[in-house]
Amino acid sequence: MTESPYDDETLEAGRLLFARPATFVMGAAKVEQLPDTSQPEVAFAGRSNVGKSSLINAVVGMKALARASNEPGRTREVNFFNVNGQLHLVDLPGYGWAKASKVTVKKFQNLGRDYLRGRPNLKRAYLLIDARHGLKEVDKEPMDALDVAAVSYQIVLTKADKIKPAELAKVIEATQAGVKKRPAAHPLVLATSSEAGFGIAELRAEIMRVCEVTP
């Protein structure tokens, strides 16, 4: 585990915020279906097997909230979850499917890009990376898209409990170096484990801060 960049008061405020009710709002398959909202949003992006649903569930302290988006027909939509009527967590379509056709993949990638370009209330995108593998070539395309869209984004390492602390420290260092020259990337890399629970408090605090909300 790495040392928390937040004080105890901020971490507790984040815990209280996400202890409030969270609900699935809708899934949008087309850009025209995206909800018109003035509430602040943060979006989660990443490979289809990186553990986005597990991380969202860990953040809101619920076991199956994000699984609502895994029902047939919703898996590749932009899914919206509301936290206590104060902010939205947005689950973007995964990328890197080995079995999906190029046409299908492009359709969902374009939906994600349209969302990123057209959301003035989007405060940050969190790009999830498997800590066991670090940044890969496939991750460069979404980072390029975020840079071009000028959307502030931050790398969140998932499944960080699956590797040893010394190895995790190396992955964090390499990841920070990998985003250092990217114009829209936040320099702080967060390491999380949905299963073990570490890093979740810091992610909650970060979301609370960028969305400028209080519990």
Give pLDDT tens digits for 70-121. 444 345 788 999 999 999 999 988 776 444 445 555 555 677 778 888 789 9
Consecutive H or E run containing 54: helix 52-60
Torsion sign over Cα 138, 193, 3, 213:
positive
- The stretch 11-38 carries a mean pLDDT of 90
Position 102 scores a pLDDT of 58
Q: What is the mean pLDDT of residues 8-35?
A: 91
pLDDT at 151 exceeding the cut of 50? yes
Neighbours of 61 (CB within 10 A): 14
**Could you give the 3-state DSSP secondary structure of residue 15?**
helix
What are the φ and ψ backbone dihedral angles of 58, each rounded to 5 degrees?
-65, -40
Which residue intervals of the chain are DSSP H helices?
8-17, 52-60, 102-117, 140-149, 165-179, 200-211
Q: What global pTM score does this model have?
A: 0.90
Q: What is the mean pLDDT of the chain?
A: 87
Distance of CA 176 to the CA centre of its chain: 17
